[in-house]
């Protein structure tokens, strides 16, 4: 399982927002799906999670627990895909406030005591000004319901 809370330490809030709005703009190779054609005519689509000496281990469904093994000598060709697994309309179910909260959550690494959720001087972000309420929500486990349902469907392992 990938921990998205580490993203806030590696990327700017602007980059995170852009990645949520246009998820296929930049897809790191680690998360890129491929079409794999085998010599016996099978076609598999998925993300390679392990490329060993003699075989590939591929996840053929997003967040599936079971992997498919393919021997390298059985592969005819591999075609990288330019579409992210992240849904294009992910943010369409969120309000502006919820989007700001999501960016603050990612930036804070899921830590409700992070400065993204504490009150600051004038000029701080909207998420920061709402910090006390949001911090209480994070501590109690409350989240945006549509986002929570979407995320829960991806945490099956």
CA dihedral 143, 144, 147, 148 (to 10 degrees): 40
pLDDT value of position 143 = 45
Task: Mark whether 95 and 71 lie in a shared domain.
Answer: no
pLDDT value of position 82 = 93
pLDDT band at 110 (very low <50, low <70, confident <90, very high): confident
pLDDT value of position 81 = 94
- Structural domains of the chain, count: 2
Q: Evaluate if residue 104 carries a pLDDT over 70.
A: yes
H-run or E-run covering 78: strand 75-80
Beta strands in 6-144, from DSSP E residues, in sequence order:
33-38, 43-51, 55-59, 68-71, 75-80
Angle between helices 96-108 and 13-21 (to 10 degrees): 130
pTM as predicted? 0.59
Compute the chain's Rg from CA coordinates: 19
Q: What is the pLDDT of residues 59-97, one digit of tens each?
A: 998 777 889 999 999 999 999 999 988 888 888 888 888
Task: Mark whether 90 and 149 lie in a shared domain.
Answer: yes
Among all chains, which residue has been given the structure tokens 């330019």? 82
CA angle 55, 56, 59 (to 5 degrees): 150
Task: Mark whether 110 and 35 lie in a shared domain.
Answer: no
**Which is more confident, 133 or 118?**
118
User: What tokens appear for 26 in the block?
Assistant: 């930049």
Q: What is the pLDDT of residues 8-19, one digit of tens each?
A: 778 888 888 888
* CATH number (domain holding residue 63): 2.30.30.100
- Enclosing domain of residue 76: 29-80
Among all chains, which residue has been given the structure tokens 């281990």? 57
User: What tokens appear for 23 in the block?
Assistant: 């998820």
Among all chains, which residue has been given the structure tokens 């680690």? 30
SS percent in the chain: helix, strand, coil, step 5: 40, 20, 40
Task: Mark whether 148 and 93 lie in a shared domain.
Answer: yes
Q: Evaluate if residue 148 carries a pLDDT over 80.
A: no
């Amino acid at each position: 399982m990938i921990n998205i809370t580490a993203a806030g330490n590696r990327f700017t809030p602007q980059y995170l927002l852009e990645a949520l709005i246009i998820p296929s703009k930049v897809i790191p190779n680690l998360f890129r799906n491929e079409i794999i054609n085998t010599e016996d005519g099978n076609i598999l689509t998925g993300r390679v999670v392990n490329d060993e000496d003699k075989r590939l281990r591929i996840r053929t469904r997003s967040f599936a627990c079971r992997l498919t093994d393919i021997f390298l000598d059985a592969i005819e060709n591999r075609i990288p895909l330019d579409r992210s697994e992240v849904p294009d309309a992910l943010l369409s179910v969120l309000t502006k406030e919820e989007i700001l909260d999501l960016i603050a959550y990612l930036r804070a690494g899921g830590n409700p005591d992070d400065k993204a959720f504490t009150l600051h001087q004038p000029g701080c972000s909207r998420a920061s000004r709402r910090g006390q309420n949001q911090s209480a929500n994070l501590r109690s486990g409350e989240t945006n319901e549509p986002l929570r349902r979407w995320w829960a469907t991806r945490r099956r392992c």
